[in-house]
């Protein structure tokens, strides 16, 4: 089909790939094909890219660099609609404090930092479960998602971008932390929209219909 839209979910050996793909398929238009792939060609040919991730930053970066997918990720993030999820947000930063320090993709200056909850002894790490995201930008991916909607989180680190203008959402776990960023054709979220019920499905739907200029 000539006008078929290809969405590639990047497979680099880490991430909740099937759940992400199924959630996207559930809200996709009939002419949209969701493809889970580790092939560079499928990433390059995609009309839009979803970059999910779980686990540790060091293992994630090693997998990206070993496969050569790191360059395809950076190229896609510069050229087409791009959605990063969880670790797919954190590794966009300069570095992570995880594993005694890990150099990341450096797409955005800033760090993934460990939660310091010394003043909040009742709170646990990882931050796991449902939490609100307060939208700080009027962004197309927040369309029809009410302010302070609840999303599902599982993480021990949070991003702290140097440029605060790219922050698209914040959440609270003891401290207030950045839970979403947006810049040009890129949107990335710390929560797992594939596990976030109606709000998460709406975010996928918004992404699949997004046409950033």
What is the CB neighbour count within 10 angstroms for residue 205? 20
Cis peptide before 126 (omega within 30 of 0): yes
Query: Which secondary-structure segment (H or E) carries 51?
Result: strand 48-51
Q: Is 192 a catalytic residue?
A: yes
Q: Is 194 a catalytic residue?
A: yes
User: 79, 127, 194, 209: which is the annotated catalytic residue?
Assistant: 194
* Dist. CA 56–CA 91, nearest whole Å: 10
User: 26, 98, 192, 209: which is the annotated catalytic residue?
Assistant: 192
Q: Give the residue among 32, 28, 98 at the shortest CA–CA distance from 60.
A: 98
Q: Is 86 a catalytic residue?
A: yes
Q: Give the torsion sign (CA, 183, 112, 69, 133).
A: negative
Q: Give the residue among 195, 137, 193 at the shortest CA–CA distance from 206.
A: 193
Any idea which residue has 């991916």 for tokens?
141
User: 60, 86, 98, 111: which is the annotated catalytic residue?
Assistant: 86
Catalytically annotated residues: 86, 192, 194
């Amino acid at each position: 089909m000539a006008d078929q839209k290809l969405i590639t979910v990047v497979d680099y050996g880490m991430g909740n790939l099937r759940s992400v793909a199924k959630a996207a398929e559930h809200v996709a238009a009939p002419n949209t094909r969701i493809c889970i792939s580790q092939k560079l060609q499928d990433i390059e040919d995609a009309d839009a890219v979803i970059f999910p991730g779980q686990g540790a930053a060091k293992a994630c970066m090693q997998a990206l660099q070993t496969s050569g997918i790191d360059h395809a990720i950076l190229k896609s993030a510069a050229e087409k609609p791009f959605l990063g999820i969880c670790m797919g947000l954190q590794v966009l930063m300069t570095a992570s404090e995880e594993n005694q320090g890990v150099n990341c993709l450096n797409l955005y200056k800033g760090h993934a930092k460990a939660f310091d909850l010394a003043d909040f002894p009742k709170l646990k790490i990882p931050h796991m479960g449902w939490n609100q995201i307060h939208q700080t930008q009027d962004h197309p991916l927040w369309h029809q998602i009410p302010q302070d909607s609840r999303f599902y989180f599982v993480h021990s680190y949070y991003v702290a971008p140097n440029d605060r203008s790219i922050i698209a959402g914040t959440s609270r776990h003891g401290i207030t932390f950045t839970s979403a960023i947006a810049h040009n054709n890129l949107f990335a979220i710390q929560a797992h929209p594939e596990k976030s019920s109606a709000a998460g499905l709406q975010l996928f739907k918004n992404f699949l219909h997004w046409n950033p200029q």
